[in-house]
Chains A and B, each alone.
Chain A
Amino acid sequence: MLRHNIACPFCGLCCDDLTIKSEPQQLTVEANGCPLSERGFSQSADTGDCDRQPRVQGHACTLNEAVAHAADLLRNARLPLFGGLGTDVAGARAALRLADRAGAVLDHMNSALMLRNLLAVQDSGWMTATLGEVRNRVDLLLIFGSDIEKHVPRFYERFFDNTESLFGQDTAVRELIVIGSDADTARTHGDTRITSIPCPTARLGDIAMTLRALLHGRPLQAEDVAGIRVTQLREIVTRLADAHYGVIAWATAELDFPHAELAVQAFSGLVKDLNTTTRCSGLPLGGNNGDTTFAEVATWQAGFPTRISLASGCPHFDPIQNNWERLLESGEADILLWISAFDTQRTPPSVDTPGIVLGRAGMQCEREPEVFIPVATPGLDHAGHVYRCDSVVAIPLRSVRVSDLPGVSGVLHAISESL
């Protein structure tokens, strides 16, 4: 059976125009796919009976037995840690509710990436646009970092190379500047519209700060910054200032260097400065495994986006203390509840801490956890909601096959009732 206008939860774009062919043992992306959606929809396609069976200490059991054992473990824990948190809105709601009762720490598997943006916002704010706005308005796109298609494969197709736009713009003359480590290899259409400038990733913040200085007319001693001639940077500033609606984008996952939040802060500062005279918006790209979704729900329920401890009875945010990896390494957390409903490959870390794992059916853990409960995948096995990377649009997910697997929220509510 073919299902149209299906949304994909496997990257931060959450494209909702997919056609999915649904067969008893197989889901196939028939139209508007990409490498991430094709992998996501087809992963663990041939789940046999063994994969669908909960286990306690490696032994097959009923769901009720697994839930009861998980509740026992949480009841007796000093500091439970809820990690992974790869789930939809309903799963995030249930995780926060259970964590409140259990006095747990919650930290999403992607927190280190998420904090690159969140810390910058907490400190100085930003100006951004949503994907639909970019699609219709951008005339100059500046990208910090190069390989954004790895993280958001259909970004150019849907939001830059679109042939139609609302305001009569000839989208064929949109300009693109890429500054990043692999800029030369990134998206070379042989197109004169594209300017590619190589730059080490860790120096991107310096480039943004230099652009800000040039925009303000500050004198610079240096003739080049991170290998880029200041004259070339001056030209870029002029183009940004002359653009009617510039967009400055970055793939958050690419910014893999210490204190990348300072680079994001520099990008955001540049955007704000440009808006003194023209329009320009920032656009953080990326996201997967429900990271934006968790941050949104946690923010409205607990006041903070991630790295939240509820151990004292009320929410505490600490980006260092509540780091899930630190809590496992130090041994402070004595139970790990790991949730990963989207990706069988995002398995719990192999640690001595006893684990309760809610994993997408078909997940193979490196070390057998105390409790393993195979769960349904939102958008494949059941309806739900996930957030796009612009943090504004919550996309409705549909069920595209019949499944008897339990969803994350149902399992967590059952554990909560058994506590």
Chain B
Amino acid sequence: MLIKLTAGTVYDPANNVDGEVRDLFIGDDRITSDPGADANIDAEYDLRGMIVMAGAIDLHTHIGGGKVNVARTLMPEFCRQAPVERSALTRSGCSKATPSTLVTGYRYAEMGYTTAFEPAVLPCNARQAHMEMADTPILDTGGYAMLGNDDFLLRLLAEGADQALINDYVAWTLQATQCIGIKVVNPGGINAFKFNARKLDIDEQNPYYNITPRRIVQCLTLALHELGVPHPLHVHASNLGVPGNFKTTLETMNAAGGLPLHLTHIQFHSYGTEGERKFSSAAAEIAEAINSKPNISADIGQIMFGQTVTVSGDTMRQHANHGYAHPNKWVCMDIECDAGCGVVPFRYRDKNFVNAMQWAIGLEIFLLVDDPWRVFLTTDHPNGAPFTSYPHLIRLLMDRSFREESLKQIHPEAAAHSRLSGLTREYSLYEMAIMTRAGPARILGLRDCGHLAEGAFADITVYDDHANRERMFERPAYVFKNGKLVVRNGEICAVTRGATHAIHPEYDRGIEKSLKNFFDRYCSVKMENFAISEEEMVEGIGSAVITTECRTRGIA
């Protein structure tokens, strides 16, 4: 199958293409070179005047695993309010903040997304995460395994284990969970909550292990660096949501010691204590730190106003915030000496001072960070807002007058406190393509995604060039997944199955002896039944693995 995409205006930052009119060719599932005038083209699309980008990549979205299903269980009203009918092509389900898996796949594809990553895979729950993502059609997916609150690692640290042993454990975890990265959530804090600690700052010791969050961040950062895993440690820092937490966030950046570190949903970690209400924006301090530290990247976790549900491994902070639950119901779980799960429904209100500040803080960071390669467009779906609000968020970033109008709607004191009105920056299409395609692919080490050069997966999104960028980004004219047209005029026209991106660093199998001993003595499952093989991924779970290559060990 040979397809020609004729004369679209191409934005492909990975290859330094900034709005050039070009032809693209798709040979089966990959982008191919110009086959020459004599080639037999099977289908041609006239894209004159249209915008062409690689399929978008979401590097942080909660679309699989136990906590999302707990949220669905807790919030049946979401599904009642937004049922989705089956069609000749698509399955029924529901949308709203935690859509059913099938609808998640359809909606992402309809917005031009072709790949998405679940950032909080509990190793003991990895099967479920992958099963849910396997039931998310069209998208390629992947996950980050959560470490840093698991008792195996904390014991290693408490015993003063060699970094080499920690590296082996990290590599074993990536293999056993079929994940592509490692995330740490409130380092040591979820574990501390099980010992009834209610707060844990970066240099406080876990009450049982006498290990600090800083030490956990250091050892995992180093492990990924030494193993050659492209994606740096994905950090949900300590003190989420606590006024004044920006200092903890800055210290977490310092903990990396200059090695690559990714701070996730950084909006929730950029709060000061200025003003009468003791709640203020520290976006300037955070953005300045990112700008001055080339090893640091961040995704925003922008909030949008409305009803959603927050899902997190951070039981310590979710429990502390349960008083804000709207409606008043919530779930917290302690899970398998591995981590935890907290689910708290939340309604962000534009007339609430704190919520309005959160909205402004996220936008401020977007606009104050200079390098679009190190900042990523997320709402921490569904925690800040559902992923379906991305087109609205894109317009806020690309259209200053729209942003000014929106600023008039929020709590007036929040608007007055925010420096947003003074920020004139408007993101360009090229920058947007970096932030939603080229950047995520680069930071995850996905060589064949997020760009449009020969050999890349033919994941391509074509937009009409609307002046209203929200309209443009919510209904692409065409979306191709692996060379197959799956969306036409913003609606699904074919349904495909995706694959799973994972990474398998080499490690010394000797670690399995101590792991087996640990599993036999303390755990509720056997090590042999814990690990997921690539065969199980294909046959039982339903998603084939695409293995990402490691970098040369120890080279940043």
The reply to whether B92 and A166 form a contact with Cβ atoms under 8 Å apart is no
Distance A164 CA – B521 CA, assembled complex (angstroms):
7
When each residue 117-147 of chain A gets 1 if its CB lies under 8 Å from chain B and 0 otherwise, what string results? 0100111111111111101110000000000
Is there a chain B Cβ closer than 8 Å to A66's Cβ? Answer: no
User: Of all chain B residues, which has the CB nearest A13?
Assistant: B524
Known A122-B74, A305-B73; judge A395-B529 contact (CB<8 A): yes
Distance A226 CA – B218 CA, assembled complex (angstroms):
56
Is there a chain A Cβ closer than 8 Å to B83's Cβ? Answer: yes
Is there a chain A Cβ closer than 8 Å to B336's Cβ? Answer: yes
Distance A89 CA – B80 CA, assembled complex (angstroms):
24
Known A133-B337, A304-B79; judge A396-B74 contact (CB<8 A): no
Residue numbers in B under 8 Å from A207 (CB-CB): none
Known A93-B135, A129-B333, A396-B540; judge A167-B208 contact (CB<8 A): yes
Distance A159 CA – B526 CA, assembled complex (angstroms):
14
Known A122-B74, A393-B525; judge A301-B334 contact (CB<8 A): no
Is there a chain A Cβ closer than 8 Å to B128's Cβ? Answer: yes
Is there a chain B Cβ closer than 8 Å to A69's Cβ? Answer: no
Residue numbers in A under 8 Å from B319 (CB-CB): 275
Is there a chain A Cβ closer than 8 Å to B403's Cβ? Answer: no
How far apart are A409's CB and chain B's nearest CB, in angstroms?
11
Of the listed stretches B64-72, B219-227, B280-288, chain A binds: B64-72
The reply to whether B66 and A391 form a contact with Cβ atoms under 8 Å apart is yes
User: Of all chain A residues, which has the CB nearest B94?
Assistant: A303
Residue numbers in A under 8 Å from B539 (CB-CB): 383
How far apart are A359's CB and chain B's nearest CB, in angstroms?
23
The reply to whether A165 and B522 form a contact with Cβ atoms under 8 Å apart is yes
* Pick from B73, B127, B194, B337: contact of A245, CB under 8 Å: B194
How far apart are B349's CB and chain A's nearest CB, in angstroms?
22
How far apart are B543's CB and chain A's nearest CB, in angstroms?
13
The reply to whether B526 and A317 form a contact with Cβ atoms under 8 Å apart is no
Is there a chain A Cβ closer than 8 Å to B272's Cβ? Answer: no
* Pick from A93, A118, A396: contact of B529, CB under 8 Å: A396
Is there a chain B Cβ closer than 8 Å to A299's Cβ? Answer: yes
The reply to whether A300 and B525 form a contact with Cβ atoms under 8 Å apart is no
Is there a chain A Cβ closer than 8 Å to B151's Cβ? Answer: yes
The reply to whether B94 and A315 form a contact with Cβ atoms under 8 Å apart is yes
When each residue 83-104 of chain B gets 1 if its CB lies under 8 Å from chain A and 0 otherwise, what string results? 1111000011110000011100
* Pick from A97, A100, A127, A315: contact of B83, CB under 8 Å: A315
The reply to whether B76 and A385 form a contact with Cβ atoms under 8 Å apart is no
Is there a chain A Cβ closer than 8 Å to B331's Cβ? Answer: yes
The reply to whether B194 and A121 form a contact with Cβ atoms under 8 Å apart is no
Distance A122 CA – B78 CA, assembled complex (angstroms):
11
Is there a chain A Cβ closer than 8 Å to B363's Cβ? Answer: no
How far apart are B408's CB and chain A's nearest CB, in angstroms?
37
Enumerate B80-137 residues with CB–CB distance to A below 8 Å.
Answer: 80, 83-86, 91-94, 100-102, 122, 124-125, 127-128, 131-132, 135
How far apart are A166's CB and chain B's nearest CB, in angstroms?
5
Is there a chain A Cβ closer than 8 Å to B536's Cβ? Answer: yes
Is there a chain B Cβ closer than 8 Å to A202's Cβ? Answer: no
* Pick from A133, A383, A395: contact of B334, CB under 8 Å: A133
Taking residues whose C-beta sits less than 8 angstroms from the other chain, chain A's interface range is 35 or more
Known A122-B76, A314-B83, A385-B131; judge A301-B91 contact (CB<8 A): yes
Distance A93 CA – B100 CA, assembled complex (angstroms):
13
The reply to whether B76 and A396 form a contact with Cβ atoms under 8 Å apart is no
Distance A302 CA – B78 CA, assembled complex (angstroms):
12
Distance A310 CA – B92 CA, assembled complex (angstroms):
8
Residue numbers in B under 8 Å from A281 (CB-CB): 333-334
Count of A-B contacts with CB under 8 A? 186
**In this complex, which of B83, B92, B100, B338 has the most chain A Cβ atoms within 10 angstroms of its Cβ?**
B92
Distance A394 CA – B521 CA, assembled complex (angstroms):
20
Residue numbers in B under 8 Å from A301 (CB-CB): 91, 93, 100-102, 135
Residue numbers in A under 8 Å from B414 (CB-CB): none
User: Of all chain A residues, which has the CB nearest B518?
Assistant: A166
User: Of all chain B residues, which has the CB nearest A247?
Assistant: B334
Residue numbers in B under 8 Å from A297 (CB-CB): 131
When each residue 284-301 of chain A gets 1 if its CB lies under 8 Å from chain B and 0 otherwise, what string results? 000000000001110111
User: Of all chain B residues, which has the CB nearest A396?
Assistant: B529
Enumerate A339-362 residues with CB–CB distance to B below 8 Å.
Answer: none
Distance A159 CA – B337 CA, assembled complex (angstroms):
13
How far apart are B140's CB and chain A's nearest CB, in angstroms?
18
The reply to whether B523 and A132 form a contact with Cβ atoms under 8 Å apart is yes
The reply to whether B335 and A133 form a contact with Cβ atoms under 8 Å apart is yes
Is there a chain B Cβ closer than 8 Å to A234's Cβ? Answer: no
The reply to whether B74 and A315 form a contact with Cβ atoms under 8 Å apart is no
When each residue 13-32 of chain A gets 1 if its CB lies under 8 Å from chain B and 0 otherwise, what string results? 00011000000000000000
The reply to whether A393 and B334 form a contact with Cβ atoms under 8 Å apart is no
Is there a chain B Cβ closer than 8 Å to A158's Cβ? Answer: yes
User: Of all chain A residues, which has the CB nearest B79?
Assistant: A303
Is there a chain B Cβ closer than 8 Å to A5's Cβ? Answer: yes
Known A121-B331, A133-B194, A300-B69; judge A313-B135 contact (CB<8 A): no
User: Of all chain A residues, which has the CB nearest B208?
Assistant: A167
Is there a chain B Cβ closer than 8 Å to A244's Cβ? Answer: yes
The reply to whether B524 and A131 form a contact with Cβ atoms under 8 Å apart is yes
Residue numbers in A under 8 Å from B536 (CB-CB): 396
Is there a chain A Cβ closer than 8 Å to B499's Cβ? Answer: no
Residue numbers in B under 8 Å from A5 (CB-CB): 526, 528-529
Known A300-B69, A392-B336, A394-B127; judge A314-B100 contact (CB<8 A): no
How far apart are A12's CB and chain B's nearest CB, in angstroms?
12
Residue numbers in B under 8 Å from A127 (CB-CB): 331-333
The reply to whether B337 and A166 form a contact with Cβ atoms under 8 Å apart is yes
The reply to whether B93 and A17 form a contact with Cβ atoms under 8 Å apart is no
Is there a chain A Cβ closer than 8 Å to B348's Cβ? Answer: no
Distance A314 CA – B125 CA, assembled complex (angstroms):
29
User: Of all chain A residues, which has the CB nearest B136?
Assistant: A300
Is there a chain A Cβ closer than 8 Å to B514's Cβ? Answer: no
Is there a chain B Cβ closer than 8 Å to A384's Cβ? Answer: yes
Is there a chain B Cβ closer than 8 Å to A279's Cβ? Answer: yes
How far apart are A89's CB and chain B's nearest CB, in angstroms?
6
How far apart are B282's CB and chain A's nearest CB, in angstroms?
31
* Pick from B76, B132, B194, B525: contact of A137, CB under 8 Å: B194
The reply to whether B334 and A17 form a contact with Cβ atoms under 8 Å apart is no
Is there a chain A Cβ closer than 8 Å to B184's Cβ? Answer: no
The reply to whether B79 and A317 form a contact with Cβ atoms under 8 Å apart is yes
* Pick from B86, B100, B325: contact of A313, CB under 8 Å: B86
* Pick from A130, A296, A300, A385: contact of B333, CB under 8 Å: A130
Residue numbers in A under 8 Å from B332 (CB-CB): 127, 275
**In this complex, which of B131, B328, B336, B539 has the most chain A Cβ atoms within 10 angstroms of its Cβ?**
B336
| Cβ contacts A to B, 25 pairs, < 8 Å | A89-B131, A90-B540, A100-B92, A129-B334, A131-B524, A159-B524, A245-B194, A279-B193, A295-B73, A296-B69, A297-B131, A300-B68, A300-B69, A300-B100, A302-B93, A303-B94, A313-B85, A313-B92, A314-B83, A315-B79, A391-B70, A392-B66, A394-B128, A395-B529, A396-B536
- B interface, CB within 8 angstroms of A: 66, 68-70, 72-74, 76, 78-80, 83-86, 91-94, 100-102, 122, 124-125, 127-128, 131-132, 135, 151, 193-196, 208, 319, 325, 328-338, 343, 521-526, 528-529, 536, 539-540
Given A132-B337, A133-B336, A394-B131, 11 more pairs with CB closer than 8 A: A124-B329, A130-B334, A132-B124, A133-B337, A136-B522, A166-B337, A301-B91, A303-B72, A303-B76, A304-B76, A394-B125
3 nearest CB pairs, A to B: A303-B79, A132-B524, A314-B83
